[in-house]
């Protein structure tokens, strides 16, 4: 599951609002001081900044491009942790959801 995707030519950003809503709900367990960074608006802002980095650098997803895009998004938005955390929380939440559904 992805939060957003960028196309380089022509430049465009596709936002996965379902994934963002899901992540915002899953973040009920986030530490209280970070909870404001798990609203749909905050997450959307960060993922757009991340995708913008790919477009500005004209770099498709790769390990180094992901690191640079995360750094760019973090600097631009003032996020106090790496946006990688969003991906990790989302992955974990999806896993929990699947487990819950199969039991
Ligand atoms: Zn990326």
The model's pLDDT over 25-74, given as tens digits with 9 standing for 90+, comes to: 988 778 888 899 999 999 999 999 999 999 999 999 999 999 999 999 99
CA of 85 relative to ligand 1 center, distance in Å: 13
Burial zone of 26 (CB within 10 Å; 0-12 exposed, 13-18 middle, 19+ buried): middle
The Cα 49–Cα 67 span in angstroms is 13
**With a threshold of 0.85, does the pTM exceed it?**
yes
CA of 102 relative to ligand 1 center, distance in Å: 31
CA of 19 relative to ligand 1 center, distance in Å: 15
CA of 33 relative to ligand 1 center, distance in Å: 26
Q: In which domain, by residue range, is 65 found?
A: 4-102
CA of 6 relative to ligand 1 center, distance in Å: 8
How many domains would you assign to the chain? 1
């Amino acid at each position: 599951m992805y939060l957003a995707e960028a196309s380089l030519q022509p430049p465009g950003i596709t936002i996965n609002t379902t994934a963002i809503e899901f992540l915002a709900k899953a973040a009920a367990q986030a530490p209280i001081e970070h909870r404001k960074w798990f609203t749909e608006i905050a997450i959307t802002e960060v993922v757009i900044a991340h995708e913008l980095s790919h477009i500005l650098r004209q770099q498709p997803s790769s390990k180094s491009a992901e690191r640079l895009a995360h750094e760019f998004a973090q600097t631009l938005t003032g996020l106090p942790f790496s946006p990688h955390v969003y991906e990790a929380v989302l992955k974990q939440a999806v896993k929990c959801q699947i487990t819950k559904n199969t039991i």
